[in-house]
Amino acid sequence: MSSTSRFSLRALQAIRTPSTQRLTATSTVRRNTSTRSDSTTHSSANSSSSRNLTLGLLAMGLGANAYYLSQQDSNTKDSSKINLDGPAATIKNGNYIYSDSQLPFSYGSKQYFEAAIEELKAYFTSQGEAWDDFVTTDQDELERRGLDENGHRTSSEGTKPSVAVYVRDTPDVQAVIRIANKFRMPIVPFSGGTSLEGHYIAPFAGISIDMSRMDNILAFHPEDGDIVVQAGTGWEAVNAYCVKNGDQLFFPLDPGPGATIGGMIGTGCSGTNAVRYGTARGEHFLDMKVVLANGEVISTRGGGRARKSSAGFDIGKIIVGAEGTLGIVTEVTLRLAPKMPADAVAVASFPNVEAASKTVNEILLSGIPVQCIELLDHRMISAINASNLCGRTYDEKDSLFFKLSGGEAAVAEAKEAITKASVKFGAKKESVEFETDKERAAEIWEGRKAALWAVVATNEAPGVKVWTTDVCVPISALPRLVRESQEDFQKCGLTGTAIVGHAGDGNFHALIPFKADDPEQTKITTEAVGRLCERAQRLQGTCTGEHGVGMGKIEYLQKELPAGTVRAMKAIKLALDPQNLLNPGKLYPTPKFTPAH
């Protein structure tokens, strides 16, 4: 996955707009330059049934709309000189069609967007900064925000932002949102750039608000086991900070290299440690500072760091998995976990995926302290060996990789249980490999870490990309899901597809090499991914276990959730973002929607 790096924008000085044409900063972004502060509010609502919830939230949405508009700056531009008429309720961008009687898709004109960009420049100038260090319309910068890693959504007019803005803190985010409100300009959060379902693509242009510079550790409380960070901080940086400060704590969510805390919250991620520590929907985020669509700041727990609270419902749980559509997270208090005193790594080879999956069920039911159980099919193992990314090779069979943690006695017990279960379901005893030495254990685990990159490295032909998708089912359904999916990929000609899964929680990823420049093969791949999603749903699973919905899985979310649930989601969206400015075109199913492939 790509990760966001900082770009010097000083080269843009040569094309600065003459100062006589610039807009001056307005009261929408006034701030004392010596004290960067924000405001916090709280809100709540009640309901008695699904229907009443929907109607009540819709009413709240109407009230919020009036409040929202009342909060906007009175010093607005003369609309008689600038066309404010944006697209109607039904709009088309390339292959995307959006039509929704609940969510508005109406934004400012191109001329209005240009005026907003000038005001963004003026805002940073008013803060004593060189605006071109923070605001860019460089086409290369915008292009990379219009292409996701799956490669099936590419840049074109309407799928890339009009401008990218680098923010430093919560007041910067407030300022950008207030300017966006003034000019009816969509806002799309961007940080690590590792999401896989088009989350950071801008289908209606607008502002790409780049959080990558918000990567500071704000406070560390080892005695309480928590840490306060800005949303652009990577999970790897959090763990490196804990190690550097000599504490035996770590943040257990590990979705993949380059992912940042804000994006992890947005997608409701998990990772290899989910078997033991759960997902982002657990109790990992004690408090969040969130900027709402009207520029107001809330704290989901009022700055509190208590490990539990029964004071009202948990607003933070609504933000997790909302994909930046309800507010922009700027600061987070993370709950850390203690490192276990002993750990080990194991790998075992099986005659087929079903045998491996049955082994997983047996081990989980035994209650042994397993931290990770990862499934790699034989095609994945073959790619790892061929890539030469690891210092060793593996038996090219369907395999399970284990990570164990706990006391020495617990690890020894786990070793015995894993060997017994593996042999029971067809693994040869000599193929079950254990290692407690840290260096040798890391060497074994390197195979799991190299999985994605191995598939990419072995499919570097011109025009070939790797489409990465995920689904999740009840653990007992995983063997059937994997078997039927493998058969389907082979039948439709996608013979290079490799599977890697978090087998301990029923979540697996299909890595599908395909020719992105071949419309027919792109169509075949798209349809195969669709069948995978529907297959998981038929098995009482979900179309996405951790990647999120974004743009890529809207149509499958609509099939997965009841209509009343979708209405309730939209009602919450309208209550907090009545103009649909925050990451529009993501997550929420629309009556008419055609994905671009």
Phi and psi torsions of 144, nearest 5°: -70, -15
Beginning with the edge strand found earlier in the chain, give each strand of the sheet holding 187-190 in spatial order: 135-136, 163-166, 207-210, 187-190
Is residue 96 very low, low, confident or very high in pLDDT (cuts 50, 70, 90)? low
Per-residue confidence (pLDDT) for residue 38, from 0 to 100: 58
Q: Check residue 298 and give its pLDDT.
A: 98
Which residues have a Cβ under 8 Å from the Cβ of 408 and sit 6 or more positions away? 341, 342
pLDDT (average), residues 202-219? 96
In this predicted structure, what is the pLDDT of residue 400?
97
DSSP state of 370: E
* pLDDT for residue 257: 87
Q: What pLDDT does residue 595 have? A: 43
Tokens of 53: 């919830």
State yes or no: pLDDT of 6 exceeds 50.
Answer: no
Which residues, in sequence order, are CB contacts of 138 under 8 Å at separation 6+? 7, 9, 11, 12, 164
84 contact partners, CB below 8 Å, separation of at least 6: 108, 109, 112, 184
580 pLDDT higher than 60: yes
Which has the closest alpha carbon to 474: 583, 396, 370, 361? 361
Q: Cβ contacts of residue 245 below 8 Å, gap of 6+?
A: 220, 222
Q: What does the alpha-carbon distance between residue 29 and residue 350 come to, in Å, rounded to a whole number?
A: 61
Per-residue pLDDT tens digits for 509-525: 999 999 988 999 999 99
In the chain, which residues fall in CATH 3.30.70.2190?
A: 342-449
Q: What is the pLDDT of residues 237-260, one digit of tens each?
A: 999 999 999 889 999 999 988 999
The answer to whether residue 329 scores a pLDDT higher than 60 is: yes
pLDDT at residue 55 tops 70: no
Tokens in use for 334?
Answer: 């993370």
Alpha-carbon 523 to chain mean position: 25
Helix extents (H) in 83-158: 110-126, 139-144
Amino acid in position 111:
Q
Phi, psi of 194 (to 5 degrees): -105, -5
pLDDT, residue 105, reads 83
Read off the tokens for 44.
């709540």
Cα 471 to the chain's mean position, in Å?
Answer: 15
The CATH number of domain 342-449 is 3.10.450.50: no
Residue from 202, 87, 269 nearest 596 by CA = 202
Per-residue pLDDT for 555 more than 60?
Answer: yes
Of 597, 538, 543, nearest in space to 95 by CA: 597
Q: How far is CA 238 from CA 7, 8, 225, 249, 259, in A?
A: 23, 25, 13, 10, 11
Determine what percent of the chain is predicted with pLDDT higher than 70.
Answer: 80
Q: Is 438 buried (19+), middle (13-18) or exposed (0-12) by CB count in 10 A?
A: exposed
pLDDT number for residue 102: 75
What average pLDDT score do residues 174-196 get?
95
Please report, for residues 342, 409, 421, 511, the alpha-carbon distance to residue 348 in angstroms, rounded to integers and kept in the order given.
20, 21, 11, 22
Q: What is the pLDDT of residues 124-135, one digit of tens each?
A: 999 999 999 999
Given a contact cutoff of 8 angstroms between Cβ atoms, the answer to whether 545 and 470 are in contact is: yes
Longest dimension (CA), the chain: 80
Q: What is the mean pLDDT of residues 547-576?
A: 93
- Across 31-35, 393-397, 412-416, 439-443, least confident range: 31-35
pLDDT over 50 at 17, yes or no: no
Q: How far apart are CA 84 and CA 495, in angstroms?
A: 51
Residue 198, pLDDT score: 87
Q: What is the pLDDT of residue 541?
A: 98
Buried b / exposed e over 365-378, threshold 16 CB at 10 Å, is: eeebbbbbbbbbbb
Token pair, residue 220, equals: 């560390």
Q: In the CATH scheme, what is the code of domain 217-338?
A: 3.30.465.10
Please give the average per-residue pLDDT across 546-571, as a whole number. Answer: 92
What pTM did the predictor assign?
Answer: 0.83
pLDDT at 569 over 60: yes
234 pairs with which residues across the strands? 260
Mean pLDDT of 429-444: 92
CA-to-CA distance for 334 and 261, rounded, in angstroms? 9
Confidence check: pLDDT of 79 > 90: no
CATH 3.30.465.10 segments of the chain: 217-338
The answer to whether 215 and 232 have CB atoms below 8 angstroms apart is yes
Instruction: Say if strands 370-376 and 249-250 run parallel, antiparallel, or are unpaired.
Output: unpaired
- Close Cβ partners of 82 (under 8 Å, ≥ 6 residues apart): 109, 111, 112, 115
Phi, psi torsion values for 297, nearest 5 degrees: -110, 135
